[in-house]
Amino acid sequence: MTTLEITGGRVLRPDFSVERADVLVDQDAGEILDVGDVPEGDETLDAADCLVMPGLVNAHTHAAMTLLRGYADDKPLDAWLQEDIWPAEAELTAADVRAGTELALVEMIRGGVTAFADMYFEEPAVADAVADAGVRARLGHGVVTVGKDDESARADNEESLDFAREYDGYADGRVKTVYAPHSLTTVDDALLAEFTAEARGAGVPLHFHANETAGEVEPIVESEGERPLAHADDLGMLTEDDFLAHGVHVDGEEIDLLAARGTAVVHCPASNMKLASGMAPVQRLREAGVTVALGTDGAASNNDLDVFDELRDAAMLGKLAAEDAAAVPAEAAVEMATAGGADALGFDSGRVEAGANADLAVVDFDAPHLTPVHDHVSHLAYAVRGSDVRHTVCDGRVLMEDRDLVTLDEAEIRGRAADRAADLAERAD
Ligand SMILES: N[C@@H](CCSC[C@H]1O[C@@H](n2cnc3c(=O)[nH]cnc32)[C@H](O)[C@@H]1O)C(=O)O
Ligand SMILES: [Zn+2]
């Protein structure tokens, strides 16, 4: 057994207390062995002036959309997708997706993210990027059937399920998969029911967009005579292994339904603000007992993948939505970005405790914007930025040490992504 000792810092515990402690990691098993006064490790990471916390979880993104960062801004969801994003995406190749995903991974590892959920095209290329980078991920091929004939609509669904079956457990088990129908309005109902049933038979969970905009809720209420999540439930789409992105426009009954089914909601506050989609009732969801995670959504609607930014937005927007400054307090925001995300994605991560996955972010508090420290958790919620992360560890392996990436060649990846993005924009023009 090879061990890693993270030494000289403070540790954020699962109960949100902060104590002086070291962390010992079993690098072979990828697990936390001990927290506190631990035996000496084979290797050490210095954590003086730092806080060791669970690695952050970006529970809803389209990683390769980094290539479309700043490509089209200042439009509502429908127009943005149809006029700008989908035409550009029609030109995407597997090599583009690989390049864009690698750029996303550079950004996420720099910001202490150790796990993410992706829904996009060319997912085998995403899985390979994840394998090389060393992070953990829940991946799914996104299905859209609007505008497609029956045969290609079916083929898109099949591709999603085939990918999920084939890649579950990939990258030494760090990759898990989902069936990923884009949303209730962009995938044909009959196919949705059929493939959801097939996914259940194969033990594959679901990840989809739901109740993101008011404009997406109305047509479902009109055609089905019930709210979108009641309809999703009829289609068998809500179980405790599933997670849906957004959940902005949900009513009280839908919140209760989510709580009863155990389906998690991935809140994406920056995307919801930027596309003016609305304010998710995060405080009410949490009070009802729904697992709430956080996602950046794609870099084209955010426009970065900094989960610290996201958790601050979640706290701020949650207060505004509830018209209550006590809503979504600091602890809740940090919890959603760590344990909430890990629970939504089904990873035994998100908590610094013995036996859990050794997925960790070490945050450097030696900075002017983090001085003084009255309360570490307050800083995590309201003052820390992704660039304050000093070391990132996933599955017991050091992915970033002293702000140097270990597994990825940042200069090469940035150059390649910029070239491919320029080329893509030209083709889409
Ligand atoms: N195979 C599908 C691909 C769907 S991937 C998931 C899709 O979600 C899109 N997307 C990104 N952000 C959002 C959002 O906030 N709401 C809805 N869709 C989004 C993204 O651009 C991508 O087209 C196809 O044939 O079109
Ligand atoms: Zn999305």
Residue 360 structure tokens: 């960790």
What CATH architecture does domain 3-54+356-405 belong to? Roll (2.30)
| Ligand nearest the Cα atom of residue 271 | 1
Residue ranges around ligand 1 (CB below 6 Å): 62, 77, 81, 85, 89, 119-121, 142-144, 156, 182, 209, 212, 271, 297-298, 301
Residue 82 structure tokens: 């149809």
Is residue 294 helix, strand or coil? Answer: strand
Residue 86 alpha carbon, nearest atom of ligand 1: 23
Per-state percent for the chain, helix, strand, coil, to nearest 5 = 45, 20, 35
Assess contact for 237 and 206: CB atoms under 8 A. Answer: yes
Write out pLDDT tens, residues 63-104: 999 999 999 999 999 999 999 999 999 999 999 999 999 999
Q: Comparing C-alpha atoms, which of 163, 175, 67 is closest to residue 130?
A: 175
pLDDT of 59 reads 99
Residue 97 structure tokens: 């997706």
CA atoms of 117 and 60, how far apart (whole Å): 5
Q: Which of 62, 184, 267 has the most ligand 1 atoms within 8 A of CB, as the residue to mutate?
A: 62
62 is in an annotated binding site: yes
Provide CB contacts within 8 A for 321, sequence distance 6+.
Answer: 279, 280, 281, 282, 283, 327
CA of 26 to the centre of ligand 1 (A): 38
CATH H-level, domain 56-345: superfamily: Metal-dependent hydrolases (3.20.20.140)
Which ranges in the chain are annotated with CATH 3.20.20.140? 56-345
Alpha-carbon separation of residue 407 from 43, 105, 332, 399 (angstroms):
17, 10, 32, 6
Q: Comparing C-alpha atoms, which of 220, 211, 327, 219 is closest to residue 277?
A: 211
Mean of pLDDT over the chain:
98
Which ranges in the chain are annotated with CATH 2.30.40.10? 3-54+356-405
Residue 120 alpha carbon, nearest atom of ligand 1: 5
E-strand stretches of 55-156: 56-61, 113-120, 136-143
| Ligand nearest the Cα atom of residue 270 | 1
> Tokens 């072979």 identify what position?
28
CA-closest residue to ligand 1 atom 11: 298
Which H helix or E strand runs over 109?
helix 94-110
CA of 407 to the centre of ligand 2 (A): 27
pLDDT of 225 reads 97
pLDDT of 429 reads 87
* DSSP secondary structure code for residue 55 in this structure: P
Q: Comparing C-alpha atoms, which of 116, 124, 111, 105 is closest to residue 64?
A: 105
> Tokens 């949490």 identify what position?
286
Percentage of the chain modeled with pLDDT above 70: 100
The letter for the amino acid at 136 is: R
CA of 182 to the centre of ligand 1 (A): 6
Q: How many CB atoms lie within 10 A of CB 284?
A: 16
Per the omega criterion (within 30 degrees of 0), is the bond before 303 cis? yes
Q: How many CA atoms lie within 13 A of 46 on its CB side?
A: 4
Assess contact for 144 and 187: CB atoms under 8 A. Answer: yes
Would you give per-residue pLDDT tens digits along the chain (429 residues)? 999 999 999 999 999 999 999 999 999 999 999 999 999 999 999 999 999 999 999 999 999 999 999 999 999 999 999 999 999 999 999 999 999 999 999 999 999 999 999 999 999 999 999 999 999 999 999 999 999 999 999 999 999 999 999 999 999 999 999 999 999 999 999 999 999 999 999 999 999 999 999 999 999 999 999 999 999 999 999 999 999 999 999 999 999 999 999 999 999 999 999 999 999 999 999 999 999 999 999 999 999 999 999 999 999 999 999 999 999 999 999 999 999 999 999 999 999 999 999 999 999 999 999 999 999 999 999 999 999 999 999 999 999 999 999 999 999 999 999 999 999 999 998
Looking at 134-227, list the stretches that DSSP marks H as alpha helix, in order from N- to C-terminal side: 150-167, 189-201, 214-224
Is residue 387 helix, strand or coil? Answer: helix
Is residue 218 helix, strand or coil? Answer: helix
CA atoms of 256 and 347, how far apart (whole Å): 24
CA of 18 to the centre of ligand 2 (A): 34
pLDDT of 337 reads 99
Assess contact for 63 and 126: CB atoms under 8 A. Answer: yes
CA atoms of 366 and 346, how far apart (whole Å): 33
